[in-house]
């Protein structure tokens, strides 16, 4: 699930940034396709991780969603599925109809995607301070992990706000 949020989702969002993307020289259509493929990888990794965690808890007869990390995780997974539907609707304009313009739909999708990304990073941060993680990882490494999450958050928030608030 860390791979889903910290790598695939991050690069899928940064796909449209001229400074940060691996595909900065490609056309907007190619970036949109890459964004969709990376978000599909995000969903596959996230759902696979969720399934593995669910299965492991069932095997050990442990309760589900008893921590803040678990609760935020299920909220984030649900939100990922909803956001993917929004992205599909954006790609297939006929699903939205004429109620909102393409520019409005892109703004809503980007804003909702940023909120989703921050939910994912919040879930990662809560996982850094879970009992399981703190028992296995020394404090300096925990701080390094948290610092990485903060850097990702600032990078993506900066890119999205520059891309959409500048066009206001």
Q: What is the pLDDT of residue 40?
A: 94
For 48-100, how does the pLDDT look when each residue is reduced to its tens digit (9 = 90+)?
999 999 999 999 999 999 999 999 999 999 999 999 888 887 777 766 667 77
Over the stretch 113-157, which tens digit does the pLDDT of each residue have? 999 999 999 999 999 999 989 999 999 999 999 999 999 999 999
Residue 53: the pLDDT is: 94
CATH of the domain at 8: 1.20.120.1770
More confident residue, 153 or 166: 153
Return the pLDDT at 83: 92
* Cβ 80 vs Cβ 42: under 8 Å: yes
pLDDT at residue 20 greater than cutoff 80: no
C-alpha R_g of the chain = 17
Distance between CA 136 and CA 134 in Å, rounded? Answer: 5
- Select from 2, 4, 12, 7 the least CA-distant residue to 113: 12
> Predicted confidence band at 17 (pLDDT cuts at 50, 70, 90)?
confident
pLDDT of residue 168: 52
pLDDT score at 96: 64
Is residue 36 over pLDDT 60? Answer: yes
Task: Report d(CA 80, CA 122) in Å as an integer.
Answer: 14
CB atoms within 10 A of CB 27: 9
Give me the domain span that covers residue 31: 2-165
Say what the pTM is.
Answer: 0.89
What is the tens place of the pLDDT at every residue in 106-120?
888 889 999 999 999
Q: How many domains does the chain have?
A: 1
Helix axes 68-91, 102-128, angle to 10 degrees: 160
């Amino acid at each position: 699930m860390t791979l889903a949020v910290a790598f695939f989702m991050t690069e899928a969002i940064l796909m449209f940034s001229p400074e940060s993307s691996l595909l900065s020289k490609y056309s907007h259509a190619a970036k949109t396709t890459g964004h969709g493929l990376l978000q599909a990888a995000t969903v596959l990794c996230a759902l696979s991780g969720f399934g593995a965690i669910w299965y492991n808890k069932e095997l050990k007869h442990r309760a589900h969603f008893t921590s803040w990390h678990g609760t935020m995780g299920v909220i984030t997974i649900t939100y990922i599925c909803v956001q993917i539907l929004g992205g599909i609707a954006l790609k297939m304009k006929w699903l939205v109809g004429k109620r909102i313009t393409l520019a409005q739909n892109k703004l809503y999708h980007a804003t909702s995607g940023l909120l989703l990304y921050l939910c994912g990073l919040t879930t990662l941060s809560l996982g850094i301070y879970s009992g399981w993680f703190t028992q296995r990882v020394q404090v300096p490494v925990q701080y390094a992990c948290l610092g990485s999450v903060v850097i990702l958050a600032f990078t993506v928030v900066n890119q999205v706000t520059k891309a959409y608030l500048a066009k206001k």
